[in-house]
Structure 1
Amino acid sequence: MINVFLVVIFPMCLAFAAFCDLFTMSIPNRVSVVLLVSFVMFAPHGVDLTQILLHLAAGGSVFAVCFCLFALNVMGGGDAKLLTASAVWFGFNASLAAFLLYVSVFGGLLTLLVLLLRSQENLILAARIPVPRLLLTAKKVPYGIAIALGGLAAYPSSPLMQLAFAQLS
C-alpha cells in the first residue's frame, strides 16, 4: 500500500499544482504541505534516517536559492515552495540534478511559448481559441507547469521510486 501511495502522491500533487498555476497563476500552499508531510510520513518505511536528513537538506538548499530569487522578484513564492517540496523527494544525488535540469529546460520552453501566445493575443482572441485569459494578460509565467513537467520526467529515477520499484519486483 505504501508503494502505491509513493507512486501516486507526488505526480498527483504536481499535476494539481500545474493546473492551478495555469488557470489562476498561483499554487496553493497545501500542495507543498502535502508533498512535505507525505515524504516525512512515508520515507521512514524504506529509507534510513541519514538519507531522510539528506533529502531534507536538499530541500533546504533549494529553498535557500529560491528564497534569494523570490527576494529579487525573479521567482514567485508558490513556485519556490513547490520546487523546494519537490526537491525533498529527490535528495542529494543525480536525480536532483536531473530534476533541476528538466525544470530549467521545460521552463525555458514554457517561457518561449507564453511569449509567443502573448505576441499573438489579438489573433487568439479573434479566433476564439480557448486559452486561459490570465495566461495572456498576466505579467508572469506559470512556472509551476515547468516544475511539474520536470518532476514527472525525473521522478522514475528518484530514490523513492527506485525503492518502490525494487519492492514491487
Structure 2
Amino acid sequence: MTQAIIFVVFPLCLAVAACSDFLTMLIPNRVSAILLASFVIVAPLAGLGLTDIAMHLAAGLIVFSVCFALFALNVMGGGDAKLLTASAVWFGLNFSLVEFLIYVSVFGGLLTLVILSLRSSTNLILATGLPVPDHLLKAKKVPYGIAIGIGAFAAYPTSPLMLAALGSAG
C-alpha cells in the first residue's frame, strides 16, 4: 500500500496540476492539499523517522517562504507557490530538493521561451486554426505548473521516498 501511494499519488497529482494549469491557468488547491496530506501519511509508513519528517517539512517551509515573497511581488501565482511547496515536502531538505528546483528552473525557462514564441506568432496560430488554448496566447502569465510537474517527474526517481519504496520492493 505504501509503495502504491509513493508510486502513484505524487506523480498523479503533479500530472493533474500540470494539465489543469495548461488548460485553465489554475491549479486546484486540493492537489497541493492531497500532496501534503499523503506525505504525512506515507512518510512514517515508508520508514522515515521524526527527524527525517521534520526535515521534509522544513524543506516545504523554506520553499513556501521564498514562494510567498515571489507571490507578494506578483512574480509567481498562488497555485504555483502552493504546488511547489507541497512538492518540496516530498523531496526533503537534501540534494534531491536542489535537483528538483534546478529541473523546475530549467524547464520553466524553456516553457517561458515556448510560450513567448507562441505569443509572438499568435496571428499565424489563429489563422491556421491550431487548437491552442486562448489563455496561452493572450495571458501575461506562464502556466508554471507544467514546469513544476516536469521537474518533479525528472527529479522524483532520486527522492528519499522513492528510494525508500524501491529499497523495500527489492
Q: TM-score, normalised by structure 1?
A: 0.99
Aligned residues, how many? 169
- Counterpart of 1:16 in structure 2: which amino acid? V
1:86, 1:40 → 2: CA distance? 12
The match for 2:38 is: 38
Instruction: Give the % identical residues.
Output: 66
Q: Does 1:16 align with 2:16?
A: yes
Specify the SS of the correspondent of 1:131: coil
1:36, 1:23 → 2: CA distance? 24
2:71, 2:131 → 1: CA distance? 31
Q: Does 1:2 align with 2:2?
A: yes
The match for 1:71 is: 72
2:140, 2:50 → 1: CA distance? 43
* Shift of residue 90, structure 1, vs aligned partner: 0.3
* Shift of residue 130, structure 1, vs aligned partner: 1.1
The match for 1:47 is: 48
Q: What is the aligned-residue RMSD (CA, Å)?
A: 0.5
Specify the SS of the correspondent of 2:93: coil
1:128, 1:65 → 2: CA distance? 40
The match for 2:104 is: 103
Runs of 4+ in 1 over 2 A off after TM superposition: none
Show structure 1 runs of 5+ residues with no match: none
1:153, 1:10 → 2: CA distance? 13
The match for 2:137 is: 136
The match for 1:156 is: 157
* Shift of residue 136, structure 1, vs aligned partner: 0.6
The match for 2:127 is: 126
- Counterpart of 1:139 in structure 2: which amino acid? K
- Counterpart of 2:51 in structure 1: which amino acid? T
1:54, 1:134 → 2: CA distance? 38
2:22, 2:144 → 1: CA distance? 9
Q: Does 1:94 align with 2:105?
A: no
* Shift of residue 5, structure 1, vs aligned partner: 1.4
Specify the SS of the correspondent of 2:76: coil
Q: TM-score, normalised by structure 2?
A: 0.98
2:89, 2:44 → 1: CA distance? 14
Residue-by-residue CA offset, 1:6-56 (whole Å, 9 max, x unaligned)? 111000000000010001101000000000000001101111110000000
* Shift of residue 2, structure 1, vs aligned partner: 1.1
2:138, 2:157 → 1: CA distance? 35
